[in-house]
Amino acid sequence: MSRIHRLRKAHRPNTPMYTVMSYPEIVKQVISDYAKLRPSHGNIRLDAVFDHNHGHYALMQVGWDRGQRVRGNLIYVVIENGKIMIEYDGMENGILQDLIDKGISKQDIVLAFLSDSQSA
């Protein structure tokens, strides 16, 4: 499938099933949308970090709040074997529904931050 065809398909959120090739683009779009938000307090920057070669995608926070240094992950996703592995999700409502709404099959999303007993 050509890159142009994948991009055209990625712009149709109501398409029932995206190809696995478009999953990185969807994950990047969701993280980039969150990176546009601004925290309600402090001087905190949100940085989207994408490692396409290894399939790692993150949203980092860096800055200062009330005299304290703020830094760390807000979102960390790994794409592995055609699955979206949500390793960390520090967003208030979580990113699961955002990924589903953009066309990623629920069966292809793993909440890796939950133990087997929590996800059962």
Residue 120 lies in a domain: no
CATH number of the CATH domain containing 93: 3.30.310.110
| Helix or strand (DSSP H, E) at 48 | strand 43-51
Would you say 60 and 71 are in contact if contact means Cβ atoms under 8 Å apart?
A: yes
pLDDT for the residue numbered 120: 58
Question: HEC profile for 37-70?
Answer: CCCCCCEEEEEEEEECCCCEEEEEEEEEECCEEE
Among 47, 45, 50, CA closest to 26: 50
Here the tokens at position 56 are 């790692």
Direct distance between the N- and C-terminal alpha carbons of the chain, in angstroms, rounded to an integer: 36
Residue 46 in any domain: the answer is yes
Can you give the pLDDT at residue 3? 40
> For position 40, what pLDDT does the model report?
87
In a domain, 50, yes or no: yes
Three-state DSSP at 95 gives coil
Q: Which of 19, 84, 52 is closest to 7 using CA atoms?
A: 19
Model pLDDT, residue 10: 44
Q: Provide the domain count of the chain.
A: 1
Query: Is residue 54 a part of any domain in this protein?
Result: yes
Q: Whole-prediction pTM value? A: 0.79
Provide the residue range defining the domain that includes 58: 3-12+20-114
Q: What pLDDT tens digit does each residue of the chain (120 aa) get?
A: 444 444 334 444 444 455 667 999 999 999 999 999 998 889 999 999 999 999 999 999 999 999 999 999 999 999 999 999 999 999 999 999 999 999 999 999 999 998 877 765
Establish if 91 belongs to a structural domain: yes
Identify whether 119 is part of a domain: no
